[in-house]
Amino acid sequence: MSATRALPEGARREARAALWFLAPALGLITVFFVLPVLAGLVLSFTDFDIYAIADPSTARAVGFENYRAVLANPLFWKALGNTFYFVLVAGPLSVAVSLGAALLVHARSTRLRGLFRTIYFVPVVTTLVAVAIVFRYLEHPKYGLVNYALGLIGIPPVDWLGDPTFAMPAIVLLAVWKNFGYNMLIFVAGLSNIPEEQYEAARLDGASWWEQFRNITLPNLMPTFLFVILITMLGNFQIFAEPYVMTQGGPLRATTTVVLLMYEEGFRWWRMGVASAIAFVLFVIMLAGTLIQLRLTKERPA
């Protein structure tokens, strides 16, 4: 408090200048983020629907009714279960694959590192819809390459997108393949920051590759890990486009995620109030997930 008051004239002028520099960004965030979120919050307490789009005066304030309806809807719990399935399977898998890829492209013995880095990153910048269509071919029960490969090792064909048991794994496969390149780059950056001397010292002491990895690489990568796990989790909770394009939430709702359900409520049935309520319930869940994760990492000695 006293520090800000005691700010010398020069610093205060600087702060004012900074405010001007920040103004465009703050303005954009207010217009395109803060206001819509507040509008969504208000919507979630109304029964804004198709009739209200035609005539806003038919929207009624309903208090917590939308939230009650969402929590009482078995489909919401099914979607939440599917979403957690995806978060818990695709998340760790994606982190593991990107770490593995990062270690490979970072290893000094690897040739053409730049090329591999680019190749692994290509899926990230490829249009999801195009990729999903290719994956629908790959995972086709009769003509798909995936089943062909399984057939070579004697596994009978799997109806990837038509069987409720396998539809989510099929989507996990697509999502992990599509997104691991991004985390890989972050891991590569983290790996490059580890001082080479530590490895040299370890090698002099006769440490094996595994010992080096456990005692040097992993601890040094901790902050990167936290960041990667967090953004992966946040992204995975919001999974929408993959099931939307691949399965439309089927078969038997096995791939209906929370955001897909929200989309259906909002843009198929035009129950904007219910859709907004789903969005805020998901927000609370993600916030809780983030806090738990931050707490866990803080407790662990660095």
User: Which parts of this chain interact with another protein (CB under 8 A)?
Assistant: 47, 49-51, 53-55, 58, 60, 162, 251, 267-270
Shortest Å, Cβ 227 to another protein:
36
Shortest Å, Cβ 271 to another protein:
9
SS3 at position 125? helix
Give whichever of 227 and 269 is closer to another protein, judged by the CB atom.
269
Shortest Å, Cβ 277 to another protein:
15
Of the candidates 106, 86, 110, 87, which has an alpha carbon nearest to the alpha carbon of residue 98? 106
Give whichever of 270 and 283 is closer to another protein, judged by the CB atom.
270
**Contact at 8 Å (CB) between 143 and 155?**
no
What's the rounded Cα separation, in Å, for the pair 249 and 270?
Answer: 18
Shortest Å, Cβ 54 to another protein:
5
Shortest Å, Cβ 50 to another protein:
5
**Contact at 8 Å (CB) between 132 and 242?**
yes
Give whichever of 18 and 53 is closer to another protein, judged by the CB atom.
53
Amino acid in the structure at residue 273: G
**Contact at 8 Å (CB) between 273 and 48?**
yes
Give whichever of 77 and 267 is closer to another protein, judged by the CB atom.
267
**Contact at 8 Å (CB) between 163 and 210?**
no
**Contact at 8 Å (CB) between 70 and 278?**
yes
Give whichever of 54 and 122 is closer to another protein, judged by the CB atom.
54
* Tokens 């593995």 belong to residue: 100
**Contact at 8 Å (CB) between 236 and 253?**
no
The partner residues of 46 in beta bridges, in order of sequence, read: 61
Give whichever of 56 and 195 is closer to another protein, judged by the CB atom.
56
Of the candidates 77, 78, 179, 169, which has an alpha carbon nearest to the alpha carbon of residue 121? 179
Give whichever of 46 and 179 is closer to another protein, judged by the CB atom.
46
**Which residues have a Cβ under 8 Å from the Cβ of 82 and sit 6 or more positions away?**
168, 253, 254, 255, 256, 257
